Structure 1
Amino acid sequence: MTAPGRRSSTFTRLLRHGFTDASAAERRLDSPELALVRDDPVLLEALGATADPDLALDGLVRLLEAQPAPAARRELLDTVIAAKPLRDRLLGVLGASAALGEHLARHAGDWQALVTYEPRDLHPGVEEFERGLAGADDPVALRVAYRRCLLSIAARDVCGTTGIAETAAELADLATATLRAALRIAGEEAPEDAARCRLAVIAMGKCGGHELNYVSDVDVIFVGESAEEDGDETEALRAATRLAARMMRICSETTVEGSIWPVDANLRPEGRNGPLVRTLSSHLAYYQRWAKTWEFQALLKARPVAGDAELGAAYVEALSPLVWQAAERDNFVADVQKMRRRVVANIPVAEVERELKLGPGGLRDVEFAVQLLQLVHGRADPSLRSGTTLDALQALAAGGYVGRADAGRLDEAYRFLRFMEHRIQLYRLRRTHLLPEDDAGLRRLGRSLGLRADPVAELTREWKRHTGVVRRLHEKLFYRPLLDAVAQLAPGEARLSTEAARERLVALGYADPAAALRHLEALASGVTRKAAIQRTLLPVLLGWFADSADPDAGLLNFRKVSDALGKTPWYLRLLRDEGAAAENLARVLSAGRLAPDLLMRAPEAVALLGDGGGGLGPRGRAQLEQEILAAVGRAESAEQGVTAARGVRRRELFRTAAADIVGSYGTEAQPAETDQGPLVDQVGGAVSDLTAATLAGTLRAVVRGGWGDTLPTRFAVIGMGRFGGHELGYGSDADVLFVHEPREGADEREAADAANRVVAEMRRLLQLPSADPPLLIDAGLRPEGKSGPLVRTLTSYAAYYRRWSLVWESQALLRAEPVAGDEELGRRFVELADPLRYPAAGLDEDAVREIRRLKARMESERLPRGADPKLHTKLGPGGLSDVEWTVQLLQMRHGAEVAGLRTTRTRQALAAARTAGLVTEEDAAVLDEAWVLATRVRNAVMLVRGRAGDTFPTEPRELAAVGRYLGYGPGHVGDMLDAYRRTARRARTVMETLFYGT
């Protein structure tokens, strides 16, 4: 036993050397196995230099215990103490890898594999590893030999003899040798199969790219042919499939020595549903006709590694041209970026902050960015065609495709993250990319990376720094060189050629790359503060423009806004400093014509896009009306008053459109699962309130201009149709009725004349030529239609409705709601309308038949010639008309007894009908979904085209922009149209049951 005083001294030294459990370490050192060397300072120093001294000491004791005899134990100890290279290698491995420590304890003589320290041993290749595996003739022996080879790789790694790139390449070479050995064993087990076929194994992924991890699936593709020129191809493929499957099992199966790694063939054509082995011609046919963008991206790393070398080389030669044509595919960049977003979205929320590989700022961000650039520019520049990420990044920097400084920072970050990944996997030899959660694991990881002062804190700080670098660079990597190419601020720096810049812009979806380069030059050239800020903003903005259906329009509109506001001090500061402003502006400028056109008329409205200052939240009708009436009150004439009202309307339409666009630009490819009803209601309510406030301002301007403060008659505007229902779209006309009532003592003829002059002047002023979206007021729903007077007294309305009104006029009154003018008169008009629209006795059968007849007649007569009925959002099957007439029939039949039905709003009435049991929950949901979708399509058409429309655009870019608004990413326009038809078809079925009773 050790004396207490000496024990205390040893305890202190152990703590100083980095042991965390000094008491246990002291007991280990007192064990018989270490009796001869427990006080040797060299040993303690060497243990203290490892990632985990406790783990290293424990592994050393277990290794000594496993030696077959005392002499072997003494030989091991003497060698460890005397030979520094072996000491560092052995203890370094034991301190970094519990799994390799367990292997050494099971195979006590394998430590001898670490003795050799010759120059030829520093960077072994496939042939050296093949020699190391040569004696392995069965799966168990292959695993033991594989781990023995892995020992030497890990030793060079932890001692710093090799860097991360060399270590990854050695691991890939060892995997190559292992695949060859496994195929050899499989062939020896089934010599007839081996003789019947030619089989080539193509490495993919990190193995193919010579950058493998310690523990990773080894991705492969198999190519097979008959061994004889005229042999039976079917039989040859069956034999090749049996060999390939056996080879995979030899590597993947768990034995008493564990497994090596899974061999994954799911990157093959058709994935796991496709045949395991195909002929070269079959592979070629698939990639020519059916392959998706990501499959060509995967082929970047394809490399023949085992089996028939000639066939493997022929495979790569045949498919390589297709890889370098991939960037010419429609939506190429969008497809690649969408795949990246999908990967991130699938990470469990609890793991995102610990994910080294797939999380934001992780390894995959670097790899995807590099591969994207390779595919775009590798067509014309063969120097970029490396399957190894760091080599490709260096080539991109050398060619000016990536800025050298950015490339250097990415290289450093990527190496650091790969070091972390390797050390995490080496510990247990398990496939993981997650940072440890426990302090012990973080401490071991930090020390393995050379962080010794405060390993946990230093590791966390460095990891966050590097992921932050990647996060900032991986997107702008694609765009920054475009600015360098036009700004020309660093003459000695390699930069994109004009042709390469155009290639990149075309890949991003720009139809006119020459114009885009001119815009970039105008925005970013020069040494002014404005140009410097633009060079900071544009890499991010270009990415958002590229995410739209019309990047050209986004960039052009941004230049126009910047030209208009370039000298305004707050403009660029807003975009630079407020997180949401720049992205919101990019989305708005590239989503269509309406919002940019509104913004060009009032560029200062950019301020609404920021985080503060009111932002994009809708303003209430009272607030809008107050502002417009105040502006009208300051005007010197009615024309100036209406111009002021139009100015407010323009700004508020932009606010509403921008909020709509920003709210709609969200998750792709899941639109049916997203309830857009609230957004539709917000748009409808905001546009309707704005229209009402504008009419109130126009009315005030007309009265002030002709009569001063008071008309000789009370006057009110009644909203009808979608206006009265708070459901106006951007391009909707405002359906109205005008009502007046002479003031007490006023001459009725004079009052009527004043009312008619008010209506005429309101219509004239609102129709004055203007670049603003038109506000057309339509009084076609008045009694007697176009043949009747534009304005009536309340008494006249009452007399007409009592004697002459038809059922359609009662139906039209369902949406009647006062919107401007005399509030008391408006309220009395509603009281007049209620008995007509909600008859106490409901509807008799004659009235129901008449409504049905009118609906059928409207469908047959009003649908535009040549329009596809199935895609017409208003009059087509399952469109707005179907839903609204169904709801309105329920309102007229049951409104008298069901209070909830007494509303002008379609969705509220439908919800009330469902609550009252008049419609099943399922049917109500179908109708509601169809109504919301049709309304969104109409809003989208107006936003995209700048003019109203009831059906989908036919121009491809406009159709794609509508799809993007509705949540369908690039290439999914067909899915959008199919979804609309499907939704409308279901609504039509429900409508026919509820409305026609069929």
Structure 2
Amino acid sequence: MTESWTSDRRPSLAGRLARLGFTDAARAERLLADAERETGSRPSDGLLDALGGTADPDLALDGLLRLLASADEKGAGGALRAALAREPGTRERLTAVLGVSAALGDHLARHPGHWEVLRDGLAAPAGSPRNDLLAAVGADPSAAEPVAGDPEAMVALRVAYRRRLLALAGRDLIGVADVAEVAAELADLAAAALEAGLAIARADVREHGACKLAVIGMGKCGGRELNYVSDVDVVFVAEACDGEDEDAALRTATRLASAMMRACSDSTEEGALWEVDAALRPEGKAGPLVRTLASHRAYYERWAKTWEFQALLKARPVAGDAGLGARYMDTITSIVWKAAEGESFVEDVQDMRRRVEADLGRRTADSERQLKLGPGGLRDVEFSVQLLQLVHGRADETLRSPTTLDALADLSQGGYVGRDDAAALASAYRFLRRVEHLVQLHRLRRTHLIPDDEDDLRRLGRALGLRTGPVGEFTALWRRHAREVRRIHEKLFYRPLLRAVARLPGEEARLTPEAARTRLEALGYADPAGALRHIEALTAGVSRRAAIQRTLLPVMLGWFADAPGPDAGLLGFRQVSDALGTTPWYLRLLRDEVTVAERMAWVLGSSRYATDLLLRAPEAVGLLGSDADLTPRPCEVLRSEALAAVRRHHKDPGGSGGSGESSPRKGGEGSRPAEEAVAAVRGLRRRELFRVSVADLLGLADVRTVGETLTGIATVTIEAALRAAANKIEVESREPLPTRIAVVAMGRFGGHELGYGSDADVMFVHEPLPGADERAAGRAAHAVAEELRRLLALPAPDPPLEIDPNLRPEGRQGPLVRTLASYAAYYARWSEPWEAQALLRADPLIGDAGLRDRFRALIDPVRWPEGGIDDDAVRQIRRLKARMESERLPRGVERRLHTKLGPGGLADVEWVAQLLQLQHACDVPGLRTTRTLDALDAAVGAGLLDADDAEVLAEAWCLATRIRGSIMLVRGRASDLLPTDHHRERSAVTRVLGYPGTGDLLEDYRRHTRRARAVVDRVFYGAD
């Protein structure tokens, strides 16, 4: 201990100090050298390591040197140094406290003997907190009568309080006491201080014997989860002693309560303890400070607001007359647990939480750094837990703990909150409370704000054991916990008793229909009566099916509530269950495969489109089991399956025809093979549409994948229908088709960008076989095209596939089917620039392969003209685009919210790509594509479009496409307009797209389209 640091060792010391975490190693070295000169000794290596292991080694060293100096003045320095050298636990606790709390370092400098409470073997100061603090103020713990004068007693109370606080902090900061234990001990210490304050008050109020006064702890003090520095919320209840006048006794009790509050809150040479806050009393600050028990009961039975019952959850007698406190609790408890029966109870709590958040946002710019009230903060956890307690605790007394973590564990144990959610909330709550404790310990000040100073953040991170990059690691960990809390808060807020709701129809149901209605309303069901009917239908009886449903529904109801439309989800579940309930694998699959049930709940509660598909093909629920089952199947696999279905309904007696793989079957009486074949193919289409829509809803398929998949499904369906139509015409004419037929995909179909509600834009082309009569070939081709349209337009239980041929030459006035030669003649003589532009998205996908290749060869020079298009054509295209913007938007709609024709929408992006193709595709092979995003990529690669501009356009196009798809998924009806007038639809679309709120979606869409329009104006219109 007495070895000196020589000058040749000091450079290595500075380096060591820096490695240990000292931010100013040179200063620390000077301080140590000065101390060595004054005392003739230096700290051991173990002490240096302990200092380096603290949250703030520089702060710890300063505090330790001040403590040693103060101890030396009082002749106790030797004992302290010996303990630091020989007692590792003492060394660890003392340095840990000094490295976090400057305030406790100040306390130790004033009271150096208090370091003894941190010694090995001393878990805490001797005696209970109550007896210790009462003794400190000179009161007999058995009688609580003070003998010390008021000023001296108040100082003594603060010194004794902080001595115990110091001991607790030592255990806390080395991890011996966890957050819950620390919070409970802080609450008990506060209760002891209130008792001691009451003893001081009795010395001031000599007539105190005329009344009985009980102090009821509220908030965190009542719940035994107090912070290091917090207002201590209390309520006072009093009664007159036998023979005393009640009014006089109340006046005395009021003086006694006021004096007790001053004893704790007033500032002295040792500072104050904390503010004693009685604002949670009936009528708040406007009401009397002290009431009788009868007055409390009358108020809560007649006048109390919802939030006051929520506050009473944590009420607990903490000081004063124990018998009166117990009677208060007996009176209040029965009132509290009836509070949730109020008609608007749930809405009141929801509204209060929203008001708190809105008020916080108005009052402070630091709401995002708020540990307590900010998004994902402590209040999110506490509000969720408290409301669930109030809703369910009436019937289930196991849920009545005033402590948040205990209540959360009880809610999880009872099935009211999922285990994973409860574990995540508990973990986050412990983390946030620990951070709150560390922030408050530094200066012993009441704060719930994450600091923005880097040194403070570094100290926080190191105190939590984060050493690699304490600031960044802490910030990331805090944000992750906050996001998780917010997500679960929004998911579970107001969740009612799932198990009991599911068991309502049973003989032993604990809930009345009225209570069940309240709980379903709390979950978010708009029609709780209807929901109850569905539950009864699903769970009634003693069958195995009903038993499994009673097992499934508690969880399913919660998952439906997590989806945008709980009522629709439950209705869809009942309908699917009715269709498949007797199928052995169905309920077993839901019971044993959690993923299937959870995904099913989300799909049914989110998407009318997917629900309708599932109701038409309920066996498709089996696809929900894994991501692999939801991966879109290759188009060639679907094509083989679809054409096999057509063949099954067309028996080939021999021979071959011009358009298909089989020749006509003779006769055909007594059956409808074409209709049956197409019905089978449409069944295949239903299944595949369900597969891709669910993948989309679950985020397993991106925009390009969805477009390609929907295009492939449409291609296979039309190809199979073409084969069936050709077969039928051959059967009816009793001869092979005299012509080859192909179908050219146009528009979004040709661009491989179909949406769920898109029509299939097509053109029909045919080519007579050698030697065939051209008129007969034309009639046959026309008949096949019309039959194809008829077959696909037949009523069927799946979304329609509209065949739209209006992009053909001459539009509706032109022939439905043309020969290849006719197309060649038309494009040679009459083609307008807009028609060349339309051909940019033409893709011959279906029919005779050779004819498809020849048609492609025909149109390539038209759409990709040699040398590009001239300036006049460019002006025509720009004028056409401008006219379309002004004329084609529906009247009365907000043009900026129109995803197709609005500024920065789909059309804007597509016309930019198409203009570049018309101008440059002859020279840039990559531009010879029908796909919009591929064209933009090719333009960037050729230096025709800035990469940043292309990214802006692509992002806007993808977002608009996703929005259109989500609208169709949610509503089951197509729309190009963002929903703004229907709250449920707007909210559902927002949720499906993964945005936290509707405003976030609108803001994001407007930002993307505004940026995209700026690019369109510059690139397409040539604006500066």
> Normalising TM by the smaller chain, what interval?
0.5 to 0.7
AA matched with 2:836:
S
How far off its partner does 1:622 sit?
A: 0.8
SS of 1:486's equivalent?
Answer: coil
- In structure 2, the residue matched to 1:992 is 1017
Is 1:562 paired with 2:598? Answer: no
Name the structure 2 match of 1:218. 230
1:790 aligned residue (810, 816, 832): 816
Shift of 1:521: 2.2
Q: CA contact under 8 A between 1:616 and 1:659: conserved in structure 2?
A: yes
Compute the RMSD of aligned alpha carbons: 6.0
SS of structure 2 residue aligned to 1:218: coil
Q: Deviations over 1:177-216 (max 9, x none)?
A: 769999999xxxxxxxxxxxxxxx9998634x43226x65
Shift of 1:568: 1.4
Other-structure match for 2:532: 517
Match of residue 367 from structure 2 = none
**Does residue 722 of structure 2 align to residue 699 of structure 1?**
yes
Residue of structure 2 equivalent to 1:342 = none
1:611 equivalent to 2:626? Answer: yes
Change (3 A) 1:633 1:511: same
Q: Does 1:961 align with 2:988?
A: yes
Secondary structure at the residue paired with 1:732?
A: coil
Residue aligning to 2:751: 725
Deviations 1:620-648 (A, max 9, x none): 11111111001111125111111111100
Matching residue's letter, 2:691: R
Partner Cα separation in structure 1 for residue 429 and residue 991 of structure 2: 40
In 2, are the aligned partners of 1:698 and 1:762 still within 8 Å (CA)? yes
The CA distance in 2 between the partners of 1:417 and 1:983, in whole Å, is 37
Partner of 1:83: none
Aligned pair in 2 of structure 1 residues 904, 484: CA closer, same or farther (>3 Å)? closer
1:550 and 2:562 correspond: no
- Are residues 934 and 69 of structure 1, via their aligned partners in 2, closer, same or farther at CA, if it must alter by over 3 Å? closer
CA distances 1:293-338 after superposition (whole Å, capped 9, x unpaired): 99998997699999xxxxxxxxxx9xx99999673169779989x9
Query: Are 1:585 and 2:600 an aligned pair?
Result: yes
**Which amino acid is 1:658 matched to?**
V
The answer to whether the 8 Å contact 1:714/1:743 transfers is yes
Question: Cα deviations across residues 18-46 of structure 1 (Å, max 9, x unaligned)?
Answer: xxxxxxxxxxxxxxxxxxxxxxxxxxxxx
Is 1:756 the counterpart of 2:757 in the alignment? no
Report the Cα offset of residue 403 of structure 1. Answer: 8.4
One-letter amino acid of the counterpart of residue 218, structure 1: S
Assess if the C-alpha contact under 8 Å between 1:715 and 1:739 holds in 2.
yes
- Separation in structure 1 between the aligned mates of residue 135 and residue 741 of structure 2, nearest angstrom: 95
**Deviations 1:507-548, CA, capped at 9 Å, x for gaps:** 221110011112122223444433333333323322221122
Could you list the per-position Cα deviations for residues 693-752 of structure 1 after superposition, in whole angstroms to 9, with x for gaps in the alignment?
Answer: 001100111122222695321111110000000000001000011111111222222211
2:586 to 571, 588, 597: 571
The amino acid across from 1:923 in the alignment is D
Q: Displacement of 1:984 after TM fit? A: 2.0
- 1:602 and 1:561 map into 2 onto residues whose CA distance is 9
1:422-446: CA deviation from partner (whole Å, max 9, x where unpaired) = 9999x999899999999xxxxxxxx
Q: How does 1:291-690 map to 2 (within 5 A)?
A: 327-328=346-347, 370-374=385-389, 376=391, 387-389=402-404, 478-483=496-501, 485-488=503-506, 490=508, 495-611=510-626, 614-635=628-649, 637-663=673-699, 679-690=702-713
Match of 2:999 in 1: 974
Shift, 1:247, TM fit? 7.5
**Which whole-Å deviations, capped at 9, do the CAs of 1:549-577 have from their partners, x for residues lacking one?**
21100111111111111111211222222
Cα distance between partner residues in 2 of 1:794 and 1:734: 21
Pair 1:838 & 2:864 matched? yes
CA distance in 2, matches of 1:801, 1:327: 68
Partners of 2:703 and 2:165 in 1: CA distance: 61
5+ residue gaps, structure 2, are 1-67, 80-86, 99-107, 201-214, 236-260, 288-305, 320-334, 359-373, 443-459, 467-487, 651-672
Q: For structure 1, which segment, 547-556 or 689-698, has the greater mean C-alpha deviation from structure 2 after superposition?
A: 547-556
TM-score, structure 2 as length reference:
0.62
Q: Secondary structure at the match of 2:846?
A: strand
Counterparts of 1:837 and 1:136, CA distance in 2: 96
**AA of the residue aligned to 1:654:** F
CA distance in 1, matches of 2:644, 2:149: 92
Unaligned 5+ residue runs, structure 1?
A: 1-61, 74-90, 186-200, 224-242, 269-277, 282-292, 307-316, 340-357, 439-469, 665-677
Q: Distance in 2 between matches of 1:691 and 1:171?
A: 68
Residue pair 1:873, 1:938 contacting (<8 A) in 2 also: yes
Q: Go from structure 1 to structure 2 and tell me whether the alpha carbon gap of 1:894 and 1:474 turns closer, same or farther (over 3 Å shift).
A: closer
Tell me how far 1:490 sits from its aligned partner.
3.7
Q: Check conservation: 1:944, 1:961, Cα contact below 8 A.
A: yes
TM-score (ref. length: structure 1): 0.64
- Give the conservation status (yes or no) of the 8 Å contact 2:265–2:274: no
- Aligned partners of 1:990, 1:415: CA distance in 2, in Å? 45
**Inter-partner Cα distance in structure 1 for 2:419 and 2:959:** 47
In structure 2, distance between residues paired with 1:947 and 1:415: 39
- The question of 1:107 aligning with 2:114 is answered yes
In structure 2, the CA distance between the partners of 1:853 and 1:415, relative to structure 1 (3 Å rule), is closer
Contact 1:713 1:740 in 2 (8 A): yes
Report the AA paired with residue 550 of structure 2. Answer: R
Task: State the alpha-carbon separation in 2 of the partners of residues 897 and 406 from structure 1.
Answer: 66
Distance (whole Å) between structure 2 residues aligned to residue 117 and residue 855 of structure 1: 84
- Secondary structure of 2:740's match? strand
Match of 2:771 in 1: 745
Aligned length: 758
Q: State the Cα distance separating 1:955 from its structure 2 match.
A: 2.2
Contact kept in structure 1, 2:412 and 2:418, CA below 8 Å: no
Using the alignment, how far apart are the partners of 1:262 and 1:898 within structure 2?
76
Deviation at 1:382, TM superposition (A): 13
Structure 1 residues 763 and 130, CA gap change in structure 2 (3 angstroms): farther
Conserved in 1, the CA contact under 8 Å of 2:97 and 2:170? no
Matched AA of 2:874: V
Shift of 1:366: 8.3
Partner Cα separation in structure 1 for residue 674 and residue 134 of structure 2: 88
Identity of aligned residues (%): 53
Q: Is the 8 A contact 1:146 1:260 kept in 2?
A: no
In the aligned structure 2, how far is the partner of 1:790 from the partner of 1:694?
20
In structure 2, the partner of 1:195 is none
What secondary structure, in the 3-state scheme, does the structure 2 residue paired with 1:851 have?
helix
CA distance in structure 1 between the aligned counterparts of 2:760 and 2:894, rounded to whole angstroms: 26
**1:810 alignment partner, one of 811, 836, 840:** 836
Taking the aligned partners of 1:475 and 1:138, their CA distance within structure 2 comes to: 46
CA shift for structure 1 position 163: 14
Q: Are the counterparts in 1 of residues 405 and 426 from structure 2 also a CA contact under 8 Å? A: no
Distance verdict in 2 for CA 1:750–1:961, change over 3 Å: same
Give yes or no for contact 1:483–1:521 (8 Å, CA) kept in 2. Answer: no
Partner amino acid, structure 2, of 1:586: A
Question: Greater CA deviation, 900-909 or 105-114?
Answer: 105-114
Give the Cα separation in 2 of the matches to 1:130 and 1:807. Answer: 102
CA deviation after TM superposition for structure 1 residue 578, in Å: 2.5
- Asked if the contact 1:712–1:743 (Cα under 8 Å) also holds between the matched residues in 2, the reply is yes
